[in-house]
Amino acid sequence: MFNVVMQLSLLFISLSMLGLIYRLIKGPSVPDRVVALDAIGINLVAIIAIVSIILRTSAFLEVILLIGILAFIGTVAFSKYLEKGVIIESDRDL
């Protein structure tokens, strides 16, 4: 019963990732694609949690934190690039 529930939720998350990949390919503007990529990273965290329940191991739980941090840094870098044209500004050329 529990395994059936886990596989059902894995199916739901895979379907939602398919929808996000559709938006990633089709999205008319660049911020659309960045939103879709951020949501894909967040969904990847959920997939890792469910897979580590199915495999009954707690060895992959560091990956959750790692992917969360990487998705946040990537989104911040993309939005700074879209807004200002540079990611890391240097103070001297102001």
**Applying CB under 8 A, which residues contact other proteins?**
1-2, 5-6, 8-10, 12-13, 15-20, 22-23, 29-32, 34-36, 38-39, 42-43, 45-46, 49-50, 52-53, 56, 58, 61-62, 64-65, 68-69, 71-72, 75-76, 78-80, 82-83
Q: C-alpha angle with apex 52: 15 to 3, nearest 5 degrees?
A: 65
- State the Cα–Cα distance between residues 16 and 8, nearest whole angstrom: 13
Least distance in angstroms from the C-beta of 1 to other proteins: 8
Quote the distance between the C-alpha of residue 88 and its chain's center.
Answer: 23
Least distance in angstroms from the C-beta of 92 to other proteins: 24
> By C-beta, is 31 or 93 nearer to other proteins?
31
Handedness of CA 83, 84, 85, 86 (dihedral sign): negative
